[in-house]
Structure 1
Amino acid sequence: MTQGSLFEANTTHDRQESASGRYSDLADLMEQSKTCTKCRLSATRKNFVFGEGNPRARLVVIGEAPGADEDTLGRPFVGRSGKLLDKILEAIGFSRNDVFICNIIKCRPPENRNPLKDEIECCMPWLTGQLELIAPKMLLLLGRVAANTILDNKQSMNGMRGKIIRWNGFDTVVTYHPAALLRNPNWKRQCWEDVQMLRQHYDKVCGT
């Protein structure tokens, strides 16, 4: 199975109906998606966390799922891990307004558990629509769950990070989730190496 094939197989029909015709722009997609009840997570969420940032961003940052703070505020990466993400982005010359930040899952799983396979399958078309409408040059995948899901593999972080992965038309970088860095500060050096590599490649393909 090639990289991205599971993603494509799960979402081909939805992709054809989404950005290519059904949704006029990102705001329209958000309006349509925020009342989603496709999976059980809709019954326990406080807010549907669509994502935020530049609708024409050349870099999209993708995490796993909203946490408690995100669920309360309806915004991605606003808790402690969000503050760390802001610092990481600022260190390589990006603000939140320069990029688009979102998650694979748009509703918080109870007790911050990992999202289940059927929940991912239900939610993936919204992410597909976001990527089609934004049309970025690069993706930054935060954490093993996000990376394994999108790249359709079971590799470890060490197997995925430290290189540019060409996936589905996007140049993709994998690094540690900020929440993992808060638990394991020793990984910060590797994360720094990853995002420096991302910035260098971004400047090459997008210009400074």
Structure 2
Amino acid sequence: MHLFIGELLQTLHQALLLKKLYLLHSCGFSYCEPQFLAPTQQRFQSQNIGDLKMMVESCKLCAQKSSKPNFGLCNANSKLVFVTLSPLFDEQIRFSSRASIMLKNIIEGVFKLSLKEVSILSLLKCEIPKQSAQVSIESCMGYFLKQLEFCGAKILVILGAETYSYLTKDENSYNGVQGKLLKWNHYAVFPTFALSLLMRQPELKINAHREFLELKRLMGEKNV
């Protein structure tokens, strides 16, 4: 009962904040960065990555899923967290798909990091039909936020407009935030190209490489 009341109060607070932002905008105020609403955090008893992994892999929250839950790659003390919409790996966390191999090359070739120095997480933990994605992401969000706590990274690389929109609830144009380092929920987020888009349009890899180099420069300034 206390948990329900807490969530209700948080929802009311978010609605009032959003109303205030719209009012300020109508009066001519503008913002140099999007104003994000903090996601609702579910409470878990898990005290380590292993416990959380067991919870995710045994999850039965979504009836629409067409695959087994996938925990992703979650390493403690990660320097970067790469965030996708759907799982990138198979059950054995192998880099076997074109998208996962591309990301591996970016991590090692551009950022000069080992796979043990990063985490690769997805908002959805299963393959979910697109029409059910929003509801399922809300179910998965508690798992994702807990993963962020355990991996310890402060910079999230958001791969794609859909992933960014579902995570931040920002409805503004993705072009206005892509390639920029923003603040979200006590983290720095860096929205960039979706891996699927880079595979469909290889000519965009030049722009993506430029954005990754910019993030690498910013990481150097922050001593990350």
TM-score by structure 2 length? 0.77
Q: 1:185 to 1:156 in 2, by over 3 A?
A: farther
Alignment correspondent of 1:86 = 104
CA distance in 2, matches of 1:114, 1:202: 37
Alignment correspondent of 1:183 = 200
Q: Partner letter of residue 80 of structure 1?
A: R
1:25-69 per-residue CA deviation (whole Å, 9 max, x = no partner) reads: 111111122111111244x21x311111422212111001026xx
How do 1:37-186 and structure 2 match up within 5 A?
37-42=60-65, 44-45=66-67, 47-66=68-87, 70=89, 72-75=90-93, 78-90=96-108, 91-110=110-129, 113=130, 116-186=133-203
CA distance in 2, matches of 1:198, 1:163: 8
CA distance in 2, matches of 1:114, 1:78: 27
Alignment correspondent of 1:199 = 216
Q: Partner letter of residue 130 of structure 1?
A: Q
- Specify which of 40, 55, 58 is matched with residue 35 of structure 1: 58
Structure number with the bigger relative contact order (C-alpha 8 A, sep ≥ 6) is 1
Superposition deviation, residue 176 in structure 1: 0.8
Q: 1:89 to 1:153 in 2, by over 3 A?
A: same
TM-score by structure 1 length? 0.83
CA distance in 2, matches of 1:156, 1:82: 27
CA distance in 2, matches of 1:28, 1:114: 30
Checking the alignment, whether the CA contact within 8 Å between 1:49 and 1:66 is kept in structure 2 is: yes
CA distance in 1, matches of 2:210, 2:126: 31
What is the SS of the residue equivalent to 2:148? helix
What is the SS of the residue equivalent to 1:206? coil
Q: What is the aligned residue count?
A: 191
Q: Partner letter of residue 107 of structure 2?
A: L
What stretches of structure 2 of length at least 5 have no aligned partner?
1-17, 19-33
CA distance in 1, matches of 2:178, 2:214: 10
1:115-173 per-residue CA deviation (whole Å, 9 max, x = no partner) reads: 52111111111101111222211100001111111121123432221211111111110
Alignment correspondent of 1:26 = 49
Q: Partner letter of residue 127 of structure 2?
A: R
Checking the alignment, whether the CA contact within 8 Å between 1:53 and 1:100 is kept in structure 2 is: yes
Report percent identity of matched pairs: 25
What is the SS of the residue equivalent to 1:171? strand
Q: Partner letter of residue 83 of structure 1?
A: I
CA distance in 2, matches of 1:63, 1:77: 14
What stretches of structure 1 of length at least 5 have no aligned partner?
none
Moved over 4 A (4+): none
